[in-house]
Amino acid sequence: MRKILLLLSLTALFACKKGMEQYRNARPVSEVSVSTYDFLRQQGALYDTLLRLIDAVHLTDTLKNQQVTFFVPQDVSIETAMKNLNFARERLGEPGNWTLDSVPLAVWDSLLRRYIVRGIVDADSLRYADGSDLISLYGHEMNGKTSSTNASGAVGGGTQLLVYSDKNDSRFTKDWSTALTQNVDIHSKNGLMHILESQHVFGFTSFVGKAYPRSLEPIQGPYLGYPIEIPGILNAADYDEGPKEIAYHYKNPDGGKAYRNDDPGTENCSEGDNLISPGGRYNIGWISDGDWVRYTVDIKDTGKYKLELRIAGNGGGIVYLLIDDIPVSDEIAVPNTGGWQNWQSVFGTADLPEGKHLMKVVFKKANLNLHRIIFTKL
């Protein structure tokens, strides 16, 4: 009798384990009797914005009659993308009031097609270590891969999901932008749907740049994040952030990089301090004839100012100032100080207008280092 009971117990145990494994690996597959487009239409307000855009770019027939797999972004994903777009506009000083209609249809068309793949791409077809490379409409490279969440301490025992990635024209996964699914393998009359989770931002990382190309331009503006106040001290190493010919014109890109990594050379200054800003510890050098650096300044009062330039070098230099590309100072001659870190003051004057302006320090003749300029109202 004991043997029979033990055998029955073992049989029940293995049957229970088998049932658990079947349940753990089960993946519900939904099927609807309408087209992909009509299914989304039936979901109430969840996809109103998405469908409006689909209609606008003439993808309606594709989602009604063609066999495609649609990785479906939710309306909240589009709303988040629009918020990011308007934030970028405000950051660059433009009104953050763009609506869906402000974005060119070509942008919506291009990015919506990244979510659509021809044919049936179900979860089972993506069960590879590196996933499967997919080609979206318009031939953009994507990648799909299955993944599983953890549940009740069981690694990989939770819900199955897909990772859908925009490869961003790179074979390196570190460059990819990814989205996770909320529901997978919903079969429609003409295709298949995978619903992306609400945290996904529409367009992956491409939407803002395509809709508002100015956001891709290098950051321009004051290096410290705020204009340099005049009267006051302008540290030469705190020239504006921005690309060559915007923030600076420098012929020699091979100078020191003690403080900044762009072309104007920076080095530790023997008389440096950081009382005004970290840039006070450094000077600029490796200057060639005709070079200039730009500063965003906030001039408190219109009038004449005394300029005290702290310079070092072998002599023969000539420096002057521009405000908004208009000369405002006399040409200041720079003598030989006896060494590249032997600092002396040279003086000049400038007529400056009140308000925020772009100031350029122009080196008509070089052969000098510049640490700072001290502005005093006369």
pLDDT of residue 11: 37
Pair 177, 275 in one domain: no
Confidence of residue 25 (pLDDT cuts 50, 70, 90): very low
Which domain range does residue 202 map to? 26-216
Pair 311, 201 in one domain: no
Question: What's the start-to-end Cα distance of the chain, in Å?
Answer: 112
Pair 301, 184 in one domain: no
Pair 96, 73 in one domain: yes
pLDDT(24) > 50: no
pLDDT of residue 3: 36
pLDDT tens for each residue of 329-358: 999 999 999 999 999 999 999 999 999 999
SS3 150: coil
Query: What's the rounded mean pLDDT across residues 17-43?
Result: 68
Pair 166, 30 in one domain: yes
pLDDT of residue 234: 97
Give the C-alpha separation, 165 to 38, whole Å.
26
Pair 56, 173 in one domain: yes
The answer to whether the beta carbons of residues 236 and 374 sit under 8 Å apart is: no
Confidence of residue 158 (pLDDT cuts 50, 70, 90): low
Asked whether residue 310 is assigned to any structural domain, the reply reads yes
Give the C-alpha separation, 339 to 314, whole Å.
6
pLDDT of residue 149: 58
pLDDT of residue 14: 33
Pair 264, 172 in one domain: no
Q: Which pairs from 258-266 meet CB under 8 Å and 24+ separation?
A: 258/282, 264/239, 264/291, 264/293, 266/237
Domains held by the chain: number: 2
* Strand ranges (E), 171-300: 177-187, 191-196, 228-230, 232-235, 248-249, 265-268, 282-285, 292-299
Structural element, H or E, at residue 305 = strand 303-323
Boundary (domain end) residue, out of 216, 237, 261:
216
pLDDT of residue 353: 97
Give the C-alpha separation, 371 to 268, whole Å.
10
Question: Quick one: which of 285, 293, 183 has its CA closest to 228?
Answer: 293
pLDDT tens for each residue of 214-250: 888 777 889 988 999 999 999 999 999 988 999 999 9
pLDDT(27) > 60: no
Pair 143, 255 in one domain: no
pLDDT tens for each residue of 80-120: 999 999 998 987 778 999 999 999 999 999 999 999 999 99
pLDDT of residue 217: 77
Average pLDDT of the residues of the chain: 89
β-strand pairing of 248-249 with 292-299: antiparallel
Boundary (domain end) residue, out of 216, 246, 270:
216
Pair 232, 360 in one domain: yes
Boundary (domain end) residue, out of 216, 238, 266:
216
Place of tokens 């029940």: 12
Asked whether residue 188 is assigned to any structural domain, the reply reads yes
> In the chain, pLDDT over 70 holds for what percent of residues?
89
- CATH number of the domain within which 326 lies: 2.60.120.260
Confidence of residue 9 (pLDDT cuts 50, 70, 90): very low
Query: What's the rounded mean pLDDT across residues 188-205?
Result: 96
pLDDT(44) > 90: no
Asked whether residue 302 is assigned to any structural domain, the reply reads yes
pLDDT tens for each residue of 291-314: 999 999 999 999 999 999 999 999
Give the number of other CB atoms < 10 A from CB of residue 180.
15
pLDDT tens for each residue of 122-131: 999 999 888 9
Q: Inter-axis angle of helices 75-91 and 48-56, to 10 degrees?
A: 80
Query: What's the rounded mean pLDDT across residues 37-66?
Result: 96
Q: What is the pTM of this model?
A: 0.59
Encoding tokens for residue 78? 């589009």
